[in-house]
Amino acid sequence: MEGTNDSTLTEFVLVGLSAHPKLQTVFFVLILWMYLMILLGNGVLISVIICDSHLHTPMYFFLCNLSFLDVCYTSSSVPLILASFLAVKKRVSFSGCMVQMFISFAMGATECMLLGIMALDRYVAICYPLRYPVIMSKGAYVAMTAVSWVTGLVDSVVQTALAMQLPFCANNVINHFVCEILAILKLACDDISINVISMTGSNLIVLVIPLLVISISYIFIVATILRIPSTEGKHKAFSTCSAHLTVVIIFYGTIFFMYAKPESKVSADSGSEDIIEALISLFYGVMTPMLNPLIYSLRNKDVKAAVKNILCRKHFSDGK
């Protein structure tokens, strides 16, 4: 552990898997492969949605933003994780740490809000199908997406600014892969009650409220689907929201498992506990963005058809 007597730090030291050097090579290859799959999968999905006019609808507009968020989120943290596995001294500057924390927090908060809005979109589409084009007009869904982005960015500005004002006079060692806000707050040697209150308010706005919106929306969606007389109609209605529901379960399930679990006490098994926590952290930060395009493409006939059309057009143009 590296200490400092000054309240102003110039750098942080990331611990990561320093205690398990043999695992670092395995994790480096695994994370690099997953990151490339994230860039490829989400990049293809964004390109398909932009290129195919049939996908210029509210649902795919939200999905395009979701893929862009996943690319930004992982790009703010994965390169730092990979570099930490290669570097002998896993150091990151104070300003670099704050920038990475700001981007990661902003993208995560925005994604929470966006998932809530996507649930509202499915609610209107299934419960009010005839009024859907009027309610979810272009002006409406663009404004809803803008609110998600602004909320996430403002929330991140507040949390990052409050963290930057804290004195770090005990040590500069972060027990994490990246500059994660809760890990950084543990290093402060001053009262962090304002930060705790602010984080509580943040969790209420970007976690609890969207989750309530999602839950209430799906209660009405399920009730509406159950009233559909035909089995085929029920299956078709449920298929339009099954991909979103799968993503929500993975996203929120991982978040609550990470942050809602009690703090583990120091014990002889602390090494294995660190590995488990590392795997959970990687699952939340890398696995979910990698699975999102797969979930939406494999379960979506429109996306599959759009990909086939683009490939056919490309083949036809190459043939000429």
Identity of the residue numbered 24: Q
pLDDT at 223: 92
In a domain, 281, yes or no: yes
pLDDT tens for each residue of 113-162: 999 999 999 999 999 999 999 999 999 999 999 999 999 999 999 999 99
Domain interval for residue 136? 11-254+277-303
pLDDT tens for each residue of 59-90: 999 999 999 999 999 998 888 888 877 776 67
In a domain, 314, yes or no: no
Number of compact structural domains in the chain: 1
In a domain, 309, yes or no: no
Measured over all CA atoms, what is the biggest interatomic distance in the chain, rounded to whole angstroms? 71
In a domain, 74, yes or no: yes
In a domain, 1, yes or no: no
In a domain, 265, yes or no: no
- pTM here is 0.85
CATH number at residue 29: 1.20.1070.10
pLDDT tens for each residue of 20-41: 677 778 888 888 999 999 999 9
In a domain, 243, yes or no: yes
